[in-house]
Structure 1
C-alpha cells in the first residue's frame, strides 16, 4: 500500500474501527505536551491530536523521549462549536489513563509521531509533578542556533520543526525556513545543503520561478484586474514576472521547496506561491493567502 492509499484507508475509518487500532487496556502515563495540536476529519468524527515530546510509563517508571500524540475523538457538533484545541496546555505535564496505539506496518512517509499515539481514556491530573519530564522540558526550552557561513544565523522553532533565518537573494534580504525533523540532525544538514544549492544558482531559479508563475497566473490576474474599483495597468506575462517580489523560501531536506512572492496587488494582496524541487525544477504556481 502506498502513502496515498494508506491515508485514504485511515480517513475512511469509523470511530469504532479507529478505536480498535489502540490496545484494549489503558495504562497510566505522565506526558509532556509540546509542539502544537490539530484535528483531522475521519468517517463521522474528528480525530483531535495534541503533540508530546516525552512520556513516563507510571507502572515501570521508564522515560520515553520522542515525538508523539495524545488523541481523542469529537463529534461534528463539538468541532463546529469551537475550542476543541484548547483542552490541553502546551509545555505542561498531564497524568492520563490512555490506550497505546497498536504497532502496524506503514508506508514510507508516515511520520513517527503518528505511530506513537495514546488514546485518552481519562485525564487524572493536570500540572502533574515529574522531575524526569521537567528536565526534558528544560532542555527543550534551550534555544538551538546554527551559524552557517553562507546561510547566516538559523534559529530552530521546535514546535514547527523549522529553522528560520534570512539570506541575500539577488541583492535583497528574504526569509528562509528549513523544514526539518528537530530530532534528526541529518535532516538539518540535508536542508541546509539543499538551500545552499538553490542559493548558488539564484539567478536561474529566480528567472524560472517568475516565468513559470507568469505562464500559469497571468490570465487569472487579468480577470482580477477587471474587477478592480479603479483603473490599473494592463498585465502581461512580462509585467507579471517583473512585478512579483520574492519574500521567502521554505526548503525541505529532499530539495522540495515552496517560494512565496508578493503579488504587487495584482491579486489584491494575496501571495503567489511557486512549488518545485531541485531535481525536477519548478512544478507549479498558485495564488494563495
Structure 2
C-alpha cells in the first residue's frame, strides 16, 4: 500500500475515478529539511464513487517517496484509473493524497464520454480543455522549439477547436510567420530596447538586424476569432517581448514585458 503524504488531511478514505492528463510527469518537490519528496500526477476530471458526481476540473493525486525518480505507479496519459485517496471537503486545490490504485485502465462511462469534450488529440498539438476555467493548453513544436500554446476565454471545446484551426493554418507557413513577427518586433521595439540597454554598461547599442535574429519563440496565446499574442525571448538579453495580431495577417503592436 502506498503511504499518503499530507498528514493534515482527514483520515477519511474515498474511491474516485480519475482521467489523467496528457502529461504523465510526476513532479517532485520538498522543503529543505524534509526527508521525502512530494510527488503527484495531474488529472483533468474525476468521479466521486459514493455520489457518482462528475467534476470537470483539474486536480492532483499526490504521494511521498524517498527518491523523486521513484514513482509508486506508472500512470498512462488520458487514461481512467480508480484510486483510493485521503479526502476532505475543504480541498480548494483538489490535491488528493494517494493511498492505492485499485483499478488500472478502469471503465467509467461518465469519464469516457468526457474524453472528446476535454481533449483534442492531433499530430500538430495535443490539447487539454479546462471547462470550469474556460481555458485550454497544449504543446507543439514551432520550428524546432517546444512551446506551450494557451487558449483563453474559450467557453466550450468547439471554441478551442476553432482557435486551434487558426493555429494550424499559421503552422503551415511557420517560417514566413516567424520571420514576419520577428521583423515587426524589431522595428517596433528597437528604440525601447536600446533605451533599456543604455541603462546598463554591459551592452552596446544594437541594430534592427541584431534584434530580429536574437529572438526565439516562447509561447502562443490564440483566440477563436484569430487574434493572437505571441511571446519571444531575447536570448542575449534575457527578457521577453510580446506581439499582438490576427491570423488574417494584421500585426497590431509589439512591446517589452
Q: Aligning the two structures, in what range does the TM-score lie when normalised by the shorter sequence?
A: 0.5 to 0.7
Cα distance between partner residues in 2 of 1:127 and 1:91: 10
Instruction: Check the 8 A contact 2:120/2:128 in 1, yes or no.
Output: no
Q: Please give the secondary structure, in 2, of the residue aligned with 1:72.
A: strand
Instruction: Check the 8 A contact 2:16/2:84 in 1, yes or no.
Output: yes
Cα distance between partner residues in 2 of 1:212 and 1:103: 50
Match of 2:232 in 1: 259
Match of 1:71 in 2: 62
Match of 2:128 in 1: 158
Instruction: Check the 8 A contact 2:42/2:58 in 1, yes or no.
Output: yes
TM-score under structure 1 length normalisation? 0.53
Match of 1:31 in 2: 18
Cα distance between partner residues in 2 of 1:241 and 1:213: 17
In structure 2, relative to structure 1, the CA distance for the partners of 1:251 and 1:58 (3 Å cut) is same
Structure 2's unaligned 5+ residue stretches are 130-135, 161-165, 167-180, 223-227, 244-254
Cα distance between partner residues in 1 of 2:192 and 2:232: 8
Instruction: Check the 8 A contact 1:24/1:99 in 2, yes or no.
Output: yes
**Which structure exhibits the higher relative contact order, with contacts defined as CA atoms closer than 8 Å and separated by 6 or more residues?**
2
In structure 2, relative to structure 1, the CA distance for the partners of 1:163 and 1:128 (3 Å cut) is closer
Q: Please give the secondary structure, in 1, of the residue aligned with 2:93.
A: coil
Cα distance between partner residues in 2 of 1:275 and 1:84: 36
Instruction: Check the 8 A contact 1:210/1:241 in 2, yes or no.
Output: no
Q: Please give the secondary structure, in 1, of the residue aligned with 2:51.
A: coil
Q: Report which of the two has the higher share of helix.
A: 1
Match of 1:48 in 2: 39
Alignment of 1:1-289 (within 5 A): 18-20=6-8, 22-36=9-23, 37=25, 38-42=27-31, 44=34, 45-75=36-66, 78-79=67-68, 82-84=69-71, 87-103=74-90, 115-142=93-120, 157-158=127-128, 161-162=137-138, 178-180=149-151, 202=185, 205-207=188-190, 210-211=193-194, 214=197, 219=202, 236-238=204-206, 242=210, 244-250=213-219, 258-261=231-234, 273-275=238-240, 282=256
Deviation (angstroms), 1:46: 2.1
Cα distance between partner residues in 2 of 1:46 and 1:179: 30
Cα distance between partner residues in 1 of 2:79 and 2:14: 19
Instruction: Check the 8 A contact 1:208/1:282 in 2, yes or no.
Output: no
Deviation (angstroms), 1:250: 2.5
- Tell me which moved more, 83-92 or 26-35: 83-92
Instruction: Check the 8 A contact 2:214/2:235 in 1, yes or no.
Output: yes
TM-score under structure 2 length normalisation? 0.58
Aligned length: 210
Instruction: Check the 8 A contact 1:218/1:237 in 2, yes or no.
Output: no
Instruction: Check the 8 A contact 2:119/2:127 in 1, yes or no.
Output: no
In structure 2, relative to structure 1, the CA distance for the partners of 1:261 and 1:203 (3 Å cut) is closer
Structure 1's unaligned 5+ residue stretches are 1-14, 105-113, 145-153, 167-173, 193-198, 221-235, 264-271, 284-289
